[in-house]
Amino acid sequence: MTFVKPDDIIQLIQERGYRLTTARKKVIGILANHSEFLGAYDIHHLLEQENTRIGVASIYRVLDLLKSLGLLKSEEFGVGGEKYRLDNEHSHHHHSHQLICSQCGHTEELLGECPISHIADKLERDSGYQIEEHWLRFFGVCPLCREQ
């Protein structure tokens, strides 16, 4: 179970002017009841088990919509394509990513999307720790120091 309530998502969808359709409700329902990552076809199969037939194309469309609303986390595991999960409040933790020159000490903050969050998620599941923060620090020789 995630901490995102289906009703909140449905409300957001309507607020944004999107229609509230069966496909959207069903796919969101499945995602809300599964804390693990699911592939598009996993969702398709789970819906079939509830005797609900939603076209694969529509499942991808709902996933795209949720992604565009920032409500979805996705991961590429080794095989089997992209997997999706509702983005819940616990999936974020503080981090610090730095690139440090081991010769002159110059430090750069690395911005952009966190490449570690999915590792932290997995680690949280595997270790039982509740991860709050991580540091990622790269040490190397900066271009200026390399010239000398």
Minimum CB–partner distance for residue 101 and DNA (Å): 36
Q: Among residues 21, 35, 91, 103, which is the contact residue for DNA, using CB under 7 A?
A: 21
When asked if residue 39 is in the footprint of DNA (CB under 7 A), the reply is yes
Beta carbon nearer to its own copies, 56 or 104: 104
Beta carbon nearer to its own copies, 18 or 129: 129
Q: Among residues 53, 105, 132, 148, which is the contact residue for DNA, using CB under 7 A?
A: 53
Q: CA angle 42-48-49, nearest 5°?
A: 95
The H or E element containing residue 28 is helix 22-32
When asked if residue 119 is in the footprint of DNA (CB under 7 A), the reply is no
Residues that contact DNA, how many (by CB under 7 A): 25
Binding footprint of its own copies on the chain (CB under 8 A): 76, 78, 93, 99, 101-102, 108, 110, 115-116, 119-120, 123-124, 127-143, 146
Helix (H, G, I), strand (E, B), or coil: what is residue 69?
A: coil
The H or E element containing residue 66 is helix 56-68
| C-alpha torsion angle, residues 79, 84, 89, 93 (rounded to 10) | 20
In this structure, what token pair is assigned to residue 40?
């598009």
Amino acid at 38: L
124 touches 117 (CB < 8 A)? no
Which residues inside 60-89 make contact with DNA, applying CB under 7 A?
A: 60-62, 64, 79-82
In this structure, what token pair is assigned to residue 70?
């920032």
The residues of the shown chain that bind DNA, judged by CB under 7 A, are: 14, 18-24, 39-41, 53-58, 60-62, 64, 79-82
